[in-house]
Amino acid sequence: MTWDAAGPGVLRLPSGRLVRGRGLRRPLPPGPSPAYGIYLLGSPPPPTDWESAWLRWPDFRLPADAALARAVLAEAWRRCADERVELACAGGRGRTGTALACLAVLDGVPAPEAVAYVREHYDRHAVETPWQKRYVRRFTRAGN
């Protein structure tokens, strides 16, 4: 079971896969809970009632471990084909937008176009810093 495509924060990737982005400072949206969540924070996230992973990613920065980030995001992309997967940081824009853009790259969006894709289909303010944009553009390179 995946998300309702019209649900809050749900991004449809070109393949049709659905993934939800959100900000943890806001209440959990109504509807079904995620099956899997990835939390992009500088410190451990609060506990959840669903399976989750913490990717250490300080605010306005990049993931602390690029290889781990690639593996975790690849797992999210794989799972969002048939599970409710959410990506979330505190505000739901910078880190979440960057991670969603990386999923778009994994889904076939050319890396130079992925930020624009996420801004058009998720949040027009997604991906907040120049280094986050650069991270997405370079995401297909080995080691990122």
For residue range 50-94, list pLDDT tens digits in order: 999 999 999 989 999 999 999 999 999 999 999 999 999 999 999
Percent above pLDDT 90 for the chain: 95
**For residue 120, what is the domain's CATH number?**
3.90.190.10
Domain tally for the chain?
1
Q: What is the DSSP string of the chain?
A: ----TTSTTEEE-TTS-EEEEEETTSPPPSSPPPSEEEEEESSPPPP-SSEEEEEE--TTS--S-HHHHHHHHHHHHHHTTTS-EEEEESSSSHHHHHHHHHHHHHTT--HHHHHHHHHHHT-TT-S-SHHHHHHHHTTTSTT-
Residue 58 structural domain: 29-137
For the entire predicted model, the pTM comes to 0.95
Whether residue 20 lies inside any domain: the answer is no
Whether residue 4 lies inside any domain: the answer is no
